[in-house]
Amino acid sequence: MFHPLTRDQVWDWIAPAVPDTLDDLGNNIFEAKWAAPVPALDIELLRDTEGVRILGDAFEPRHMPDGIGLRFTIDA
């Protein structure tokens, strides 16, 4: 059964990782973005968070030169 997560729930789930922005793309797909300088520990924390499934490769977000973006979903 599909249970949509709110952005607040996702912020709590991925803590202590703290991206600069967190966008809800719909269907429980979220996009976290970090501006440069990117905190490498945050990226690792997000990748290692139980229930988080990274969707695709990291990318450089538009309007964030040298930043990092990751799309993910949470298998709750």
Q: Report the pLDDT value the prediction gives residue 3, as an integer from 0 to 100.
A: 79
Q: pLDDT tens across 30-56, in order?
A: 999 999 999 999 999 999 999 999 999
Q: DSSP letter string over 12-72?
A: HHHTT---SEEEEEETTEEEEEEPSSP-HHHHHHHHHSTTEEEEEEEE--TT-TT-EEEEE
